[in-house]
Amino acid sequence: MDKTLKSGRHLTIHLKTTRGRRISSQRWLTRQLNDPYVHKAKKAGYRSRAAYKLIEIDDKFKFLKQGAKVVDLGAAPGGWTQVALEKVGPKGKVIGIDLTLMEPLQGALLICGDFCDPKVVENLKSVLEGEVDVVLSDMAAPSTGHSQTDHLRIMALAEEAFVFAQDTLRAGGTFVVKVLQGGTEKDLLGLLKKHFAKVVHFKPPASRSDSAEMYVVALGFRP
């Protein structure tokens, strides 16, 4: 980690109010400009600061191994896919899927499609060429501004990702999925504990402290 992140010191940039610009947009832009992970990601060539979330999750649990086959659900803009490619090496395989079209990444197979569409999921399964070692899901529905609705929507995506993981993971595989704290994630945890040897919550340091997001890491899949 660089000295800026270790010390917590970084240049604070203040934006003047521009006529016609929404306050929420100003706050988002100011936060981005002052976020050390944003600067670090740009310097390292990652497509998003979220890359560091996966780096920190894998540093803790060490499931992205050389030669592994990985599926990245909700991959755009590609930060997690980049990290997975680095970790699994040239003998590994990384497949990313997102509703948003992504710029190509050398070494990865990227699919543009709606993961909630059964036909798209079947197409995804057809290119896997067998079982996979890791299923990652950083999927999130567009925010409505209503916390309960947003929570239910992201949990629905998490459950879809779990169904996919059940169908595609090899024995001993790993499933990592984003959830929001709010109660209903306990239902998903109960299901995961029936199918994995170890299931834990983890909030990587790169996740903003004011965010309700966490990640469930499920290790040791039992088909």
Q: Has 178 been annotated as catalytic?
A: yes
Q: What pLDDT sits at residue 30? A: 54
Domain 51-221 has CATH 3.90.45.10: no
Residues near 200 by Cβ (< 8 Å), separated by ≥ 6? 216, 217
Domain ranges of the chain: 3-34, 51-221
- Catalytic residue among 69, 87, 93, 178, which? 178
Token pair recorded at residue 176: 């990592």
- For 9-107, where are the E strands, in sequence order? 69-73, 93-98
Q: What pLDDT sits at residue 160? A: 95
Confidence of residue 17 (pLDDT cuts 50, 70, 90): very low
Confidence of residue 103 (pLDDT cuts 50, 70, 90): very high
Q: Is the dihedral of CA 143, 149, 151, 156 positive or negative?
A: negative
Q: What pLDDT sits at residue 31? A: 58
Per-residue pLDDT tens for 177-187? Answer: 999 876 557 78
Q: What pLDDT sits at residue 6? A: 40
Per-residue pLDDT tens for 37-96? Answer: 888 989 999 999 999 999 999 999 999 999 999 999 999 999 999 999 999 999 999 999
Q: What is the mean pLDDT of the chain?
A: 85
Q: Is 9 left (phi over 0), alpha (psi -120 to 50) or beta?
A: beta
Give the position of tokens 């600061």: 49
Q: What is the dihedral of CA 157, 163, 168, 169, to 10 degrees?
A: 90
